[in-house]
Structure 1
Amino acid sequence: MALKSTIFKIDLQIADMDRGYYADHALTIARHPSETDERMMARVLAFALFAADDLSFGNGLSTNDEPDLWRRDLTGEVLLWVDVGQPDEKLIRKACHRAQQVVVLTFGRVANVWWAQNRNALERLPKLRVLHLEAEHVEALAALVERTLRLQCTVQDGHIWLGHAQETVELAVQEWKAWA
């Protein structure tokens, strides 16, 4: 019998002073049995960094046809495609053909190896932005995980604070590649 996804309920308050975005989001996140707490929290962080009223979670790990997060307009055109982790370079190229903008948020220690192997090919994609979250930051985010969370995210001058009433994690996301 196949294992089922674990459901997490997250009330996320975002104060992004860099973008002038302030909103509350009630998120229901299905964590695939093979997904780690680190990856799930990286998805939550990606949601906070690119939050908009029309940003939604894709099917993620269960399919290569959808990203972890995306924004689509009313016609179905993909405005923003966000993948978390170290996706295959061919999938990133495909995403760049489908979307106006593509973001890859890498994390952890293996991301450096992935970037070294794919950098030359990815540098040529003008629609692509690559961000990196250090291993210790994503591990600290994973320590916050509970089935029901009330999180606050503040972004100011490129610094990010994400946490709840008992603990807050200060993060810095590195930009490995900017949009052209």
Structure 2
Amino acid sequence: MKLPDKYAWLNNEGAPRQLVEALMHYGVLEHPGKGSNPDIAAWAKEVGVSGWYTDDDIPWCGLFVGVVMKRVGYGFNANQLLAAKEWVKWGADRSIGKAKLWDILVFQRDGGGHVGFYVGENDHAYLVYGGNQSNAVGFAWIDKGRCIGVRYPLYKIGEPANVRKIVLSETGELSTNEA
């Protein structure tokens, strides 16, 4: 599915590899109450959690981040990837407030956590690209005050030059619950 025009600039970034991989899945939608989306079920199998991840009604933001990172060559603990807040232990720490393009952001939410990729920010919120955002892979504005961690991979050949802070002038309705 094509990105909305206001986010089409991401198609020209070309790096990091996890950005390119993740954007290929824009619009993947869960099938609540109708059986799982076969793509999401295949992700669970690919990362080794299909034995206990049985339905896309189960929060899958961590599953999405996990399959993206696996496909671009970065490991993780499959037993913890569905617990979104466990991603705060993954990779290397970048201080909250210092997030850069396609870092992994970890958030607190009622009933658990949420994890997704940094796209940009304004004064009050991060624009996050991730899975299980309105039951789909897509974009959501999340209040900066909910962020509990910023992580990035230990880049194998150095951090790409375009990995940077991105300030956006646009705003959107804040997400309050990504489950």
TM score, norm. by length of structure 2: 0.31
Q: Which structure's CA Rg is the greater one?
A: 1
TM score, norm. by length of structure 1: 0.31
